[in-house]
């Protein structure tokens, strides 16, 4: 029996939940070690040995340690290619490249405004800066306008099969749609709304949300 991989961090973290969803999609056994950020556990010397920047998540697979959620997810998909959802990260060089370009779009274009909104509206300890909120709403709206066009051509971002490109958007998107008043950015766009409804109802993501509730 394979030794479970270990993921360090709270399920409430968007980055941790991205890795959890990938592990569940790939049917890879895992052990979750909660890290209490409020107590500074991510800055303890033993944790910094596996995550030198003192952030979450961190990941161990036997003697291998990794950090940064998207790198971890790619590793999981490649190492455990024959497990679970085999097409999650593509099955050939072209499909992988197609997925990667949307994962990069998530990280560099969708992620910054959506992540800032999630932080400022839900997790910040300082008063909301309405001007900054509007700036990020406008940025995200422009991104989702492009998504709307793309999703009018294909069922999912990287084609007609669900992939890591779609999964990577779930953490920030879920908070915005279900925990803030900015969900209209998704639901007001026909194709984006259809896409979002489908990917957010996957069993893997429902399991992650259950883990959040029980955290």
Residue 208 is labelled as binding a ligand: no
Fold of 93-205: Glutathione S-transferase Yfyf (Class Pi); Chain A, domain 2 (1.20.1050)
Predicted local confidence at residue 3, as pLDDT: 82
Give dist(CA 195, CA 89) in Å, integer.
18
Q: Render pLDDT for 164-211 as a digit per residue (tens, 0 to 9).
A: 999 999 999 999 999 999 999 999 999 999 999 999 999 999 999 999
Q: Render pLDDT for 103-139 as a digit per residue (tens, 0 to 9).
A: 999 999 999 999 999 999 999 989 999 999 999 999 9
Residue 15 is labelled as binding a ligand: yes
CATH class, range 5-86: alpha beta
Give dist(CA 129, CA 127) in Å, integer.
6
Residue 125 is labelled as binding a ligand: no
- Give the global pTM: 0.95
First CA to last CA distance, the chain: 27
Q: Is 189 left (phi over 0), alpha (psi -120 to 50) or beta?
A: beta
- Cβ(158)–Cβ(104) below 8 Å: no
Cis preceding linkage at 57, omega within 30: yes
Phi then psi dihedrals of residue 56, to 5 deg: -120, 150
Question: Please, where in the chain does CATH 1.20.1050.10 lie?
Answer: 93-205
Residue 142 is labelled as binding a ligand: no
Residue 2 is labelled as binding a ligand: no
Predicted local confidence at residue 1, as pLDDT: 55
Residue 42 is labelled as binding a ligand: yes
**Residue of 202, 141, 142 lying closest to 174 (CA atoms):** 202
Q: Per-residue pLDDT averaged across 69-91, rounded?
A: 97
Q: How do 5-8 and 30-33 pair as beta strands? A: parallel
Question: Please, where in the chain does CATH 3.40.30.10 lie?
Answer: 5-86
The percentage of residues in the chain with a pLDDT greater than 90, rounded to a whole number, is 96
SS3 sequence, 45-62? HHHHCCCCCCCCCEEEEC
DSSP bridge pairs for 31: 6
């Amino acid at each position: 029996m394979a030794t479970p991989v270990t993921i360090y961090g709270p399920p409430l973290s968007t980055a941790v939940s991205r890795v959890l969803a990938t592990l569940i999609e790939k049917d890879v056994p895992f052990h979750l070690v909660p890290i209490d950020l409020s107590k500074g556990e991510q800055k303890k010397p033993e944790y910094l040995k596996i995550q030198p920047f003192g952030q979450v998540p961190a990941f161990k697979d036997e003697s291998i340690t990794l950090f940064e959620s998207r790198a971890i997810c790619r590793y999981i998909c490649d190492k455990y290619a024959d497990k679970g959802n085999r097409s999650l990260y593509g099955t050939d060089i072209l499909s992988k490249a197609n997925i990667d370009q949307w994962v990069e779009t998530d990280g560099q274009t969708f992620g910054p405004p959506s992540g800032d909104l999630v932080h400022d509206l839900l997790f910040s300890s300082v008063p909301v800066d309405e001007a900054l909120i509007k700036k990020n709403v406008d940025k995200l709206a422009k991104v989702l306008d492009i998504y709307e066009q793309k999703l009018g051509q294909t069922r999912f971002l990287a084609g007609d099969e669900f992939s890591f490109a779609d999964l990577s958007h779930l953490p920030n998107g879920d908070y915005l749609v279900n925990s803030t008043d900015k969900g209209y950015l998704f639901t007001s766009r026909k194709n984006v709304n259809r896409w979002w409804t489908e990917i957010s109802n996957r069993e893997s993501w429902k399991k992650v949300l259950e883990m959040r509730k029980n955290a």
